Structure 1
Amino acid sequence: MKRNILILGAVIAVIALIVAFNWPDKGEAPAETKPGNAAAEQPAAGPKPGELAPAFKLTSIDEKTSYAVGGARDKVLIINFWASWCGPCDKEAPDLIELYEKYKDQVDLYAVNETKYDTVRGAKDFVKEKGLTFPVLMDKSGDVGDDYKVFSYPISFIVDREGVIRHRIEGPKPIEEWEKMLEEVLA
C-alpha cells in the first residue's frame, strides 16, 4: 500500500514539474507563435495586398469559356472563392450580385467555385438558385485556391488594373465596405 502511495506521489510530482516548466509566463507569446516554432515561421496567409495576383486560367461552369487572370487588365477585378455548402457564401451572394450590377462597366467579378471541396451539381444548383449573372469558374484541382492560400470561404481579392492585389477580404462584408474598397481602387 505504501508503495502505491509513493508511486502516485511521484507521478503527481512529475506532472506538476511538467506543467510548471511548460506554463507560459504572463506576457509570453503562446507556444505556437514563439520563434523556432514551425507554425510561427510560416508566412502569413497570402498573397498579400501590394503583390501581383497569381496568374491562372479556369473554365466557366458551362465548360465553354475560359477566363485568365494575371498581369494588366482593362477593369478592376474581384476574385471571389466560394463553395455551395458555405453558409457565409450564401449570405454574401446577394451583395455580390448588387455590386456586379452597379459596377460591371468598371469591374469584372469572377466567382471561383472550389470544386475540389464541393460538387459540380452543388455549384450549378447554387448559381441557379441565387441567379448569379457574373462568370462562375470551376477550380476542380484546387490549385488556384492553393495559390491564393484560401483555407475558408468566402475569401475575395480586389485586383487593380495593373494586376496588383489591393484587398484580401475574408468572410462576408457589408456592401458599404465593399463599395468603399472598390471606390478606392477605381479612383
Structure 2
Amino acid sequence: MRGRSKSTPKCLAIASSGLCPGRCGRPAIVPDYHGLASLPLDRARKWGPFPVWGVQIGEKTCRGATLAGLLQQALKWSILSYCSEIENGKRRNRMFRKPLVLILLAVFAAVSMQSAADSAKRAKVGEKFIDFTARTVNKEKFVFSQAIKGKTCILKFGALWCGWCEKMWPELKKVHDEMGDKVVIVEVDLLNPSRGETEEKVRASVKRKKTPWEVVLDKGDVAKIYLPPRSGIPHSVVIGPDGIVKTRISGYRKYEDLKPLLEAIINGEPLPGTVGAVFPDFTLKDLSGNEFHLYERLKKGPVVIKFGATWCGPCQKLHEPLTKLYEKYRKKASIVEIDLIDPRRGETVEKVREYNEKLGTKYPVLLDYKFEVFGHTQATSIPVTLVIDKYHRISAKFVGVVGYDDIEAALKKAFAAKKPKKKRKK
C-alpha cells in the first residue's frame, strides 16, 4: 500500500503571490499568468477574500457575464471546501476536486475573455460610430451608415412599455421639425415579447403617431453595440457629422435641453457642461434671501461653484478647501455653494441652514429648488465643482472630491483667461 506523502499539501486558492491569501499560507497550485488579474470575492467562512482570475481591461477588471458569475461562485466554494478539508485533516476526494477546480477556472477565464471581446466591440464616446444593419417596422433593410449621411444623429433606444420613452417622443418631434435639415433621428425599439413588445404593436404605434423618422426593430444585437451594461431606457447616443460618438443621454430630455447640445455639436463647439462651454446665467437666492446673479458676479472676477447637499458625504470634504479659497480670494473671486433642495430626501431649507450654521460656513450657500442650475452641468452625481471665468466659460470641472491645490490652480487659470475669438460664419 502506497504511503501518504508527507510533503506540504498545496492550497487551491489562487494568488498572484503564489500563496493562499487565506490563513493556511500554503503554496497555490495555479501560477500567475501574464495578462490575468485577481478579483476579490466576498468574504466567506474564516478564509478571507479568495480571488479568482479575470481579464484585465484597461484599469478595470471584467467579471464576465452571468455565466461567469455562476462559475466564479462554484469555483469559490470548491476552493473553500477543499481548504477546509485540508485544515481539518480530511483529504477525501482530493483527486476529484483539483481537476474540477481547474476546469471551472479554465471555463471562467474563457467566458471572461469572451466578455472582454464583446466589450471591445462596444461603441465608445470619442470614437468612430459602429455601423450595423437592421430591419425597419416596414420590414425593409436598414443600414445605419447610409441613414446618417454625414449629419448629426440621435440614436434613441426605447420601448412602448417605457413611459419616459413615450413622453420623449414629442420632444424628438420638435427636434425633427426645427432641426431636421441637420439632425437625423433613428429610433431603436427593443423587442421583448415577455413585456408584450411585439413587431405588430410597434408597427401600429408608429402608424398611429405618424412617426416621421426611421424606427428599427432590435432583439439585442444593436443594443449590445451602443447600450452600456445594465443601462435603462430611454437612452440616446448622439453622433456628430464627422461620425464620432459625441455623448450619451440617459433618461428623458426636453427639446430645450437637446437644442443647445445639438447646436454645439453641429457648430463644433464644446458640449454644454464641459470645459470651454459657456455656462448659462442664473439667479438664485442664498440662505439670507439675497439674490446671486452669476453674470453680474463674473464682472468682478471668476466664480467657483460647488454643487452638493447635506446628505452627501463626499460633499462635506470640500468644505475645508472652499473655506481656504474664500478666505484667500474673496476680494478677487466669488466662492459659492449651491445646495440641491429635495424634500424627498429630507433636504429642506431649514436643514441646510442648520447644517451650515453648525459648520460655520463663511461663503454664500445658494438654493436650487428644481435642480435647474445643476442640470446645466450635465452631471449625474454630486459633488460637482465648476470654475467659471469672466467670459462665462467653464474653465475647469471636477466631479467628486477635489483638493485645494487643484481648485486653486484652476482658479489661477481662470484669472488668466483670454477673450475667446468669435468663429466666422461659413
Give the TM-score band, short-chain normalised: 0.7 to 0.9
**CA distance, structure 2, for counterparts of residue 136 and residue 33 of structure 1:** 44
**CA distance, structure 2, for counterparts of residue 110 and residue 33 of structure 1:** 42
Candidates 11, 22, 29, aligned match of 2:122: 29
- Give the 3-state SS of the residue equivalent to 1:179 in structure 2: helix
**CA distance, structure 2, for counterparts of residue 34 and residue 69 of structure 1:** 41
- Give the 3-state SS of the residue equivalent to 1:43 in structure 2: strand
TM-score by length of 1: 0.77
**CA distance, structure 1, for counterparts of residue 414 and residue 406 of structure 2:** 13
**CA distance, structure 1, for counterparts of residue 224 and residue 330 of structure 2:** 42
**CA distance, structure 2, for counterparts of residue 52 and residue 171 of structure 1:** 21
**CA distance, structure 1, for counterparts of residue 325 and residue 279 of structure 2:** 21
**CA distance, structure 2, for counterparts of residue 113 and residue 161 of structure 1:** 23
**CA distance, structure 2, for counterparts of residue 138 and residue 33 of structure 1:** 41
Q: Which residue of 2 aligns with 1:103?
A: 329
Quote the RMSD (CA, aligned, Å): 2.7
Candidates 293, 297, 307, aligned match of 1:68: 293
Deviation at 1:24, TM superposition (A): 5.3
Candidates 400, 409, 413, aligned match of 1:184: 413
Name the structure where helix makes up a greater proportion of residues: 1
Question: What runs of 5+ residues in structure 2 fail to find an aligned partner?
Answer: 1-110, 124-221, 229-234, 239-245, 249-270, 417-426
Q: Which residue of 2 aligns with 1:170?
A: 399
The question of 1:146 aligning with 2:372 is answered no
**CA distance, structure 2, for counterparts of residue 125 and residue 33 of structure 1:** 48
Q: Which has the larger radius of gyration?
A: 2
Do the aligned partners of 1:110 and 1:136 also contact (CA within 8 Å) in 2? yes
Candidates 117, 128, 131, aligned match of 2:357: 128
| Post-superposition CA distance 1:19-52 (Å, at most 9, x none) | x9xx757122277783588443373684111111
Do the aligned partners of 1:75 and 1:107 also contact (CA within 8 Å) in 2? yes
Higher relative contact order (CA 8 A, sep 6+): 1
Question: What runs of 5+ residues in structure 1 fail to find an aligned partner?
Answer: 1-19
| Post-superposition CA distance 1:133-177 (Å, at most 9, x none) | 111110112211122224211101100011111111111112111
TM-score by length of 2: 0.36
Summarize the Cα distance change of 1:36–1:78 in structure 2 as closer, same or farther, 3 Å threshold: same
**CA distance, structure 2, for counterparts of residue 47 and residue 121 of structure 1:** 30
**CA distance, structure 2, for counterparts of residue 166 and residue 127 of structure 1:** 27
Summarize the Cα distance change of 1:151–1:47 in structure 2 as closer, same or farther, 3 Å threshold: same
Q: Which moved more, 1:109-118 or 1:95-104?
A: 109-118
Do the aligned partners of 1:73 and 1:163 also contact (CA within 8 Å) in 2? no
**CA distance, structure 2, for counterparts of residue 115 and residue 35 of structure 1:** 34
Do the aligned partners of 1:53 and 1:70 also contact (CA within 8 Å) in 2? no
- Give the 3-state SS of the residue equivalent to 2:237 in structure 1: helix
Letter in 1 for 2:293: A
Summarize the Cα distance change of 1:33–1:61 in structure 2 as closer, same or farther, 3 Å threshold: farther
Do the aligned partners of 2:395 and 2:413 also contact (CA within 8 Å) in 1? no
Q: Which residue of 1 aligns with 2:164?
A: none
Aligned length: 165
Letter in 2 for 1:29: R
Deviation at 1:67, TM superposition (A): 0.7
Letter in 1 for 2:385: S
The question of 1:58 aligning with 2:255 is answered no
Do the aligned partners of 2:302 and 2:414 also contact (CA within 8 Å) in 1? yes
Q: Which residue of 1 aligns with 2:65?
A: none
